Amino acid sequence: NAGVTQTPKFQVLKTGQSMTLQCAQDMNHEYMSWYRQDPGMGLRLIHYSVGAGITDQGEVPNGYNVSRSTTEDFPLRLLSAAPSQTSVYFCASSYGRSNQPQHFGDGTRLSIL
């Protein structure tokens, strides 16, 4: 059982480059989310999706795009990377029913030079 799989695990980009972080889950979860983790700030919600074809903004959406064409996949796109987007990114998924825990991937460590 793979759970939530994120690729790549590490990436270094130059300012202005574009990049897609991949996230896939094999648990048939309706809900998927992207968070970024920065020192001293915990995790902050970037975008989330409550089902295929439905996405919405979280707390810090600027500079990021998402789409949800299938239940399994929820890629996060950086169209023009900036140094402020240097962070660790986590994808999470859960069932749509209330009180169901979120399952997190192992994270993608992204550095923007």
Partner 1 sequence: GNSVTQMEGPVTLSEEAFLTINCTYTATGYPSLFWYVQYPGEGLQLLLKATKADDKGSNKGFEATYRKETTSFHLEKGSVQVSDSAVYFCALSDRGNDYKLSFGAGTTVTVRA
Where along the sequence are the contacts to partner 1 (CB under 8 A)? 4, 31-33, 35, 40-45, 48, 50, 58-59, 90, 92, 94, 98-102, 104-107
Least gap, CB of 108 to partner 1 (angstroms): 11
Tell me how far apart the alpha carbons of residues 66 and 75 are, in angstroms, rounded to a whole number.
6
Least gap, CB of 105 to partner 1 (angstroms): 5
19 vs 88, which CB is nearer to partner 1?
A: 88
Least gap, CB of 80 to partner 1 (angstroms): 27
How many other CB atoms sit within 10 Å of the CB of residue 9?
Answer: 10
